[in-house]
Amino acid sequence: MLLRSVFGKTLRDARRSILGWIVAITAVGAFYAAFFPTVNTPEMAQALEAYPEGLLDAIGFTDITSAAGYVGSTTFGILGPILTLIFAAVLAGGAIAGDEEDGRLDLVLAHPVSRWSVLVQRFGAIVVAMVAAGIVLAIALIAISGPAQIDDISAANFFAAGFQLALLGIVFSALAMGIGAATGRRVAVNAAIAIVGIGGYLANTLAPTVEGIEWLQSLSPFFYALGGAPLRNGLQVGDAVVLIVASVVLVAIGGYLFDRRDIAV
């Protein structure tokens, strides 16, 4: 069944790394969430008050004595995004640029399948992996929400946060696919992910605290994935649309250039 299309074959070829990554992000995410009871104490609240407010904002910690604030700052604010970005660079960077550098792309493209189709189908497979990870992570958090004392977050909001984390992974995957399709070089993909990842993170956390450059935040993918606090406020439809449109544009630009260039030996 999975052998019928490039989409299915991409999922099948990457099944071990996709499963491993889903297990990793779920385990790490749930592990951190499970520590909430140790943070949710008067002593911790007192200790945190000693820090200047701007500093906590700058490292992405907001309101961490509430369940939504804590899980939003750790699982969804730092660890989830870092793991997701690494996975986007590896899987989406490998899908075109990696295959091309290893010499595997020639054979597929010599078959009756267009470059656009290869790009879109492989991207589709990565979208499925990202969404699956978001869903599994949400289910795991719901499962431990009682003992972890985070059960004042609704199941719907866990799914909303998981979905928006998936969208963050999708937009970075689109960046990786777009750069990979345009250049065929993994090093370009990794550089783009690092620059946009670190730059975007700083723009989301630091820029709002610096007068005059607050607007930079609105350029950050992290702002649209996390800024609306989906654990507290549910799915942010507007933010989700921005991430989806950005993903489509990135893949489309990559596909346009991919279709017009030589495939490297």
Partner 1 sequence: MSEVIRTERLTKFYGRRRGLDGLDLEVRQGEVYGFLGPNGAGKTTTIRILLDIIRPTSGTAQLLGRDPRAGGTALRTHVGYLPGDFVVNEAQSGRELLTHLGHLRGGVRADRIVALADRFDLDLGTRIGTLSKGNRQKVAVVQAFMHEPELLILDEPTAGLDPIMQQRFLDLVREATAKGQTVFMSSHVLSEVQQSADRVGIVRDGRLVAVEAVETLRRRAVRRVEVVFEGSVPADAFDGLPDVNDIEFDGSTLRCRLAGRADPLIKALARYDVASITIQEPDLEELFLVYYRGEAAVEDGDAAA
Helix axes 115-144, 155-183, angle to 10 degrees: 150
Please state, in angstroms and rounded to a whole number, the distance separating the CA atoms of residues 193 and 189.
6
Distance in Å, CB of 177 to partner 1, minimum:
18
> Which uninterrupted H or E stretch holds 255?
helix 237-258
Provide the 3-class DSSP secondary structure of residue 148: coil
Interface with partner 1 (CB under 8 A), residue from 35, 54, 106, 215? 106
Check binding of 20 to partner 1 (CB under 8 A).
no
Check binding of 257 to partner 1 (CB under 8 A).
no
Check binding of 104 to partner 1 (CB under 8 A).
yes
Interface with partner 1 (CB under 8 A), residue from 3, 43, 50, 211? 3
Interface region with partner 1, contact rule CB under 8 A, candidates 18-26, 56-64, 85-93, 109-117: 109-117
Closest CA to 176 of 82, 78, 96: 96
Closer residue to partner 1 (CB): 46 or 261: 261
* Residue 52 burial (CB count, 10 A): 8
Check binding of 13 to partner 1 (CB under 8 A).
yes
Q: Name, in order, each residue with C-beta under 8 angstroms of 251's C-beta and a sequence gap of 6 or more.
A: 119, 120, 123, 174, 177, 178, 181
Closer residue to partner 1 (CB): 211 or 262: 262
Point out which residues bind partner 1 (CB under 8 A).
3-6, 9, 13, 102-104, 106-114, 117, 262-263, 265
